[in-house]
């Protein structure tokens, strides 16, 4: 039989874990799944976007609207435009392509001003995972933000750590770029949302409370015999080796 001092320590552990568990279940799903009225992404959708075959582009010319047109990037990576030869677009960012087109059209137009808009992306996806209700691949479309994608995955679970949402992004190297977002602040319009890029992975981690619940399930609930209907008003010996066939020692306060 363990000393009263040991029993008191175990009681304290149970009380702390019970408090954590109660806090988790008191959270309302509606509070976690409130979409802000006006998302404010941190950058435009085309900033540094690398073009792919199959992307549909709108090319607009300031003061020369007759040259405006929409083109698809061909499988060979090129686009065809009026007045100039084919231009390779795959692998370039929109700003880089803009610069090349401006230089080429300068031979035919005085001080050309060109705008490039990605109207549709090729069959590119982003993955939404972690503590969301329906982890899945989502087809990337224009101006898709991290929060919008999470709601397309049916929103956050109660166990979702909204303050530490991560975006893993292809940086062109072996290590991905990691972007951290506080979605609680985003949903209150106190922080800007982030536009997603092709093949981004949006990951919602577990809250510390959820991890505490997992600890209770794995290391406490599974030790207590299921035929004993008790709450937290008991103490048992955590150190007694189950491998020896010993049953938990139950002591009433």
What are the pLDDT digits (tens) for 95-149? 999 999 999 999 988 889 999 998 887 777 899 999 999 999 998 887 899 999 9
Which DSSP letter does residue 66 get? G
| pLDDT tens profile 21-53 | 344 444 444 444 444 444 455 544 445 678 888
Please determine, for residue 211, whether its predicted confidence score (pLDDT) is greater than 90.
Answer: no
Residues forming CATH 3.10.560.10 domain(s) in the chain:
32-42+123-208
10 Å Cβ neighbour count for 179? 16
CATH-assigned architecture of domain 56-120: 2-Layer Sandwich (3.30)
User: What's the topology of domain 32-42+123-208?
Assistant: Outer membrane lipoprotein wza fold like (3.10.560)
Q: What is the pLDDT of residue 237?
A: 41
Pairwise CA distance, residues 229 & 121, whole Å: 57
Q: What's this model's pTM, rounded to 2 decimal places? A: 0.50
Residues of the chain with CATH 3.30.1950.10: 56-120
What is d(CA 253, CA 247) in angstroms, rounded to the nearest whole number?
A: 19
Distance separating alpha carbons of residues 128 and 34, to the nearest angstrom? 18
């Amino acid at each position: 039989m363990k000393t009263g001092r040991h029993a008191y320590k175990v009681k304290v552990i149970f009380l702390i874990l019970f408090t954590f568990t109660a806090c988790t279940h008191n959270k309302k799903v509606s509070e976690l799944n409130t979409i802000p009225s006006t998302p404010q992404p941190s950058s435009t959708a085309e900033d540094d976007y690398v073009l792919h075959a199959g992307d549909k582009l709108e090319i607009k010319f300031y003061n020369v609207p007759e040259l405006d047109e929409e083109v698809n990037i061909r499988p060979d990576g090129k686009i065809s435009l009026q007045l100039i030869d084919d231009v390779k677009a795959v692998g370039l960012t929109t700003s880089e392509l803009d610069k090349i087109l401006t230089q080429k059209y300068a031979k035919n137009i005085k001080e050309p001003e060109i705008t490039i808009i990605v109207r549709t992306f090729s069959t590119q996806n982003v993955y939404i995972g972690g503590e969301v209700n329906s982890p899945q691949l989502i087809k990337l479309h224009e101006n898709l933000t991290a929060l919008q994608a999470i709601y397309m995955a049916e929103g956050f679970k109660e166990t979702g750590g909204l303050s530490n949402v991560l975006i893993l992004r292809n940086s062109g190297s072996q290590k991905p770029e990691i972007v951290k977002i506080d979605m609680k602040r985003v949903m209150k319009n106190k922080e800007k949302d982030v536009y997603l890029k092709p093949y981004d992975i949006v990951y919602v981690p577990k809250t510390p409370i959820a991890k505490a619940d997992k600890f209770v399930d794995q290391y406490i609930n599974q030790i207590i015999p299921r035929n004993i209907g008790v709450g937290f008003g008991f103490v048992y010996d955590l150190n007694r080796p189950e491998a020896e066939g010993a049953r938990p020692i139950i002591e009433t306060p």
